[in-house]
Amino acid sequence: MQPIETRLRVRYAETDQMGIVYYANYFIWMEVGRVEFCRLSGIRYRDVEADGFLLAVAESNCRYLAPARYDDEVVIATTLGDPSPRMPRFDYVIRDAATGRKLAEGFTKHIWCGPDLRPRKLPEKYWVNFGIERAKSN
């Protein structure tokens, strides 16, 4: 699957006392990228949740390479690193939109679960949107 690019402008509230984006905000940006990835792949979280499925974060990682600052425009490139019906992994590259400089890279690994937070397999009707092949179902 091709990367889905999402653009946003750094807000003042996202920066720390040094004028640099506070590290935890990169995870929020990853969520923005992931939601847009799903939406452009034909899936809205709202619809999946209405079917009784939640996508819980099981693991996350971010490597910070260069600072982003207030009013910079950044691009979040999101790809589905592992299209699993049980534990999908999303990969992210965050770049400065003006220079193309890589600011951060990371991933989030998730687990599909029900409202009771017990692990569940994603229904097959969503597989095509996530690029999941039948062989991955085991």
| Nearest CA among 101, 105, 104, 103 for reference residue 91 | 105
Q: Using CA atoms, how far apart are residues 114 and 121, in angstroms rounded to an integer?
A: 9
Q: Using CA atoms, how far apart are residues 80 and 90, in angstroms rounded to an integer?
A: 5
For 52, which DSSP code? T
Catalytically annotated residues: 16
Q: Using CA atoms, how far apart are residues 114 and 122, in angstroms rounded to an integer?
A: 10
- Phi, psi (deg, nearest 5) at residue 106: -175, -170
